[in-house]
Amino acid sequence: MRESTKQGNDRIARQMESAYRTALAKGEVGMRERKSVPTLTEFIEKRFEPWVESVFSAKPKTRIWYRNGMRRLLSYAPLASCPLSQITGESVSTYVAHRRSCKLEVSSVNRELQVLRRVLRVAAEWGVIDSAAKIKSCPVTVTVSG
């Protein structure tokens, strides 16, 4: 497992690493337990949605945009019940396939993916997950008649 020493000075960081390795070798430091990661539903309902309501209180259209995106994400049970740390490109692609099977335009699905990206980035910023999954937008297909 790797983690930052949060030091700007390389020499001090190496000293801290050395001290930690010594403590590990002596058995003074035990393995750390991983904190439990909430599901997408838990995180959105308990933390993200209240944050959106407070941050965008003066911007009702933005609040509604987020609320609609969150509602759509939470309506797909396989994604909604997934822990944030286990949301991958594969799980997102199944969500996209589901939404496209509902005859949704690519742009509509991409707006929902924007909300999911923001949810994951905020979770990473707040230390709920180590890093946010990389989520790509759906490619827009252009049909040419003629």
The series of mean pLDDT values per 10 residues for the chain, 146 residues long, is 73 83 72 77 96 94 95 94 92 91 89 94 92 82 54
Same domain, 51 and 29: no
Q: Please report the pLDDT score of residue 9 as a whole number.
A: 84
Q: Please report the pLDDT score of residue 143 as a whole number.
A: 52
Domain assignment of residue 93, given as a range: 40-125
Same domain, 7 and 74: no
Identify which of 117, 121, 119 has the alpha carbon closest to the alpha carbon of residue 135: 117
Query: pTM for the whole thing?
Result: 0.72
Same domain, 90 and 75: yes
Residue type, 86: Q
Identify which of 77, 78, 113 has the alpha carbon closest to the alpha carbon of residue 96: 113
Residue type, 20: Y
Same domain, 11 and 61: no
What is the rounded CA–CA span in Å between residue 13 and residue 130? 20
Residue 146 belongs to a domain: no
Same domain, 59 and 88: yes
Q: Please report the pLDDT score of residue 137 as a whole number.
A: 83
